[in-house]
A and B are shown apart, each in its own frame.
Chain A
Amino acid sequence: MSQIVNQVRLDANWSAISAELDAPKASMAERLLGRLRVPGHIARLVVATPALRRAWYLAIGIAVLIGLGSARPDNPASVFVLLAIAPALPVLGVAMAYGRSADPMYEAQVATPMPGLRLVAIRTVTVLVVAILAVGVPALLASTTRSMAFAWLLPALALTSASLALMTWFPPRRATAIVAVIWFVGVVVARRVGPDELAAFGAFGQLGAAMVTAIGVAVIGARRSSFDRMEHAS
């Protein structure tokens, strides 16, 4: 029967099967990302870097803490602290995972056509998604505090986009540090002068966060070329 189909073709197909069987098995997280149609090389990048994994764990841990913390609304001060820290953490976690000192893949990155800014963007999105999922589930369970449990989401997006926008001018760590300082000063001032303790997370705060997010995204879009420049320069 093999005379019907070319033997060379059959051998080639077997080689392909063999190679597939010999290929290193993707980890569970990687396969999950594959299911979600994340391209293979990005999936590997997201799960493989040890420093990044640290950022993941950090983000997940903090997110769960916030979920639990805001589920106890009897102590407004603790809610304030958690809400103030939460939006900054995804960005700080990613900045921590990036750079010469933290990343054993740094040298490899410099040599790859993946630009630094884009890399940070991928990692930030990753951490954000995980953090949102991790905090969202406990928040939904604690139905009485639903509004406060989600109050950090828009600020988190605002800080992330602001950091990425600043990274088109400054090195990643400096950019995130500037944003973090502005954020912390902002929420403390809002607490002092605002009508109540959680003023920064009220309607005006959320509106401001939405505006900052929009501006940040616009700046990133406008300065897209810096992606390419980093791609070739680094």
Chain B
Amino acid sequence: MARRTPAGEDSAVDDGRGEDRALMARVVGGDRVALELLYRRHAGWLTARLQSRCADPDLTDIAVQDTFLAVWRSPSSYRNEGDVGAWLWSIGIRKLIDQMRKRRPTPIDPAIMALPDVGPDAADSLFANGSYGELGMNLVRLTPELRAVLIATAIDGLSTKEAAQLLGVPQGTVKTRLMRARHAMQEALS
């Protein structure tokens, strides 16, 4: 299955992308300074957004550290195309799930699991400003449980199995809720 990337990247206009790619090229070459620059550019939103998926700040911190360690150790998994921020997010959310699987913290309250209001691009408030438009409005109208599942899969880019680990519910529940959420969205949009 092709990995879905977080929403928002195609709508974002960001001059920093070229710079991100240049930094990644230097990281591939083993440049520690480039890694630190990459960290300084992206750690802020990544930490904040991971924090909105996990109630335990310690686990979030470990996930962020693991993300950049993974970037340093296998930078070639970045295919030199696409958004570096989206790539970082896809690593970060999986590192977070790894941590949650190991420590089993209390899953985050689905009601708190909001649409990401920070993203890899400069226009942080993009999401908060209602760029999701009608879709975002309808998302808000879903019950918290359904919305959380939809956010985890459609926006975080997780599989149903990973979403189940993130939300601390069985995979079957995720599938059922996802189906119900899709029906609700379809009805609302038609």
Assess the A10–B47 pair: CB atoms within 8 A: yes
The CA of A4 and the CA of B64, in the complex, are separated in Å by 15
The CA of A20 and the CA of B44, in the complex, are separated in Å by 20
Q: How many A-B residue pairs have CB under 8 A?
A: 46
Neighbour of A20 across the interface among B57, B65, B124, CB < 8 A: B65
Assess the B47–A14 pair: CB atoms within 8 A: no
CB distance from A7 to the nearest CB of B (A): 9
Per DSSP, are chain B's interface residues mostly helix, strand or loop, or mixed? helix
Assess the A14–B45 pair: CB atoms within 8 A: no
Q: Confirm or deny: A2 has a beta carbon within 8 angstroms of a beta carbon on chain B.
A: yes
Q: With contacts A10-B44, A17-B68, A20-B69 known, is A5 near B39, CB below 8 A? A: no
Q: Confirm or deny: A13 has a beta carbon within 8 angstroms of a beta carbon on chain B.
A: yes
CB distance from A1 to the nearest CB of B (A): 4
Closest partner residue, chain A, to B43 (CB atom) = A10
Q: Confirm or deny: B180 has a beta carbon within 8 angstroms of a beta carbon on chain A.
A: no
Q: Which of B8-60 contact A (CB under 8 A)?
A: 32, 36, 39-40, 43-45, 47-48, 51, 57
Per DSSP, are chain A's interface residues mostly helix, strand or loop, or mixed? helix
CB distance from A37 to the nearest CB of B (A): 12
Most A CB contacts (10 A, CB to CB) among B32, B47, B69 go to B47
Q: Confirm or deny: B118 has a beta carbon within 8 angstroms of a beta carbon on chain A.
A: yes
Assess the A5–B65 pair: CB atoms within 8 A: no
CB distance from A99 to the nearest CB of B (A): 40
Q: Which of B100-137 contact A (CB under 8 A)?
A: 118, 124
Assess the B39–A14 pair: CB atoms within 8 A: yes
Closest partner residue, chain A, to B61 (CB atom) = A13
Q: With contacts A5-B47, A21-B72 known, is A13 near B124, CB below 8 A? A: no
Contacts of A18 in B (CB 8 A): 36
Q: With contacts A1-B118, A4-B118, A21-B69 known, is A13 near B32, CB below 8 A? A: no
Assess the B44–A4 pair: CB atoms within 8 A: yes
In this complex, how many residues of chain A approach chain B with their Cβ under 8 Å: the count is 14
Closest partner residue, chain A, to B64 (CB atom) = A13
Q: With contacts A1-B45, A2-B44 known, is A9 near B61, CB below 8 A? A: yes
Contacts of A20 in B (CB 8 A): 65, 69
Q: Which of A1-43 contact B (CB under 8 A)?
A: 1-2, 4-5, 9-10, 12-14, 16-18, 20-21
Contacts of A5 in B (CB 8 A): 43-44, 47-48, 51
The CA of A14 and the CA of B64, in the complex, are separated in Å by 9
Contacts of A10 in B (CB 8 A): 40, 43-44, 47
Neighbour of A4 across the interface among B45, B57, B65, B69, CB < 8 A: B45
Most A CB contacts (10 A, CB to CB) among B40, B48, B65, B118 go to B65
Contacts of B57 in A (CB 8 A): 9
Neighbour of B36 across the interface among A1, A9, A14, A16, CB < 8 A: A14
The CA of A110 and the CA of B176, in the complex, are separated in Å by 61
Contacts of A4 in B (CB 8 A): 44-45, 48, 118, 124
Contacts of B40 in A (CB 8 A): 10, 14
Given contacts A10-B40, A14-B40, A17-B72, 12 further A-B contacts (CB under 8 A): A2-B44, A4-B118, A5-B47, A9-B47, A9-B61, A12-B61, A16-B61, A16-B65, A17-B39, A17-B68, A17-B69, A21-B72
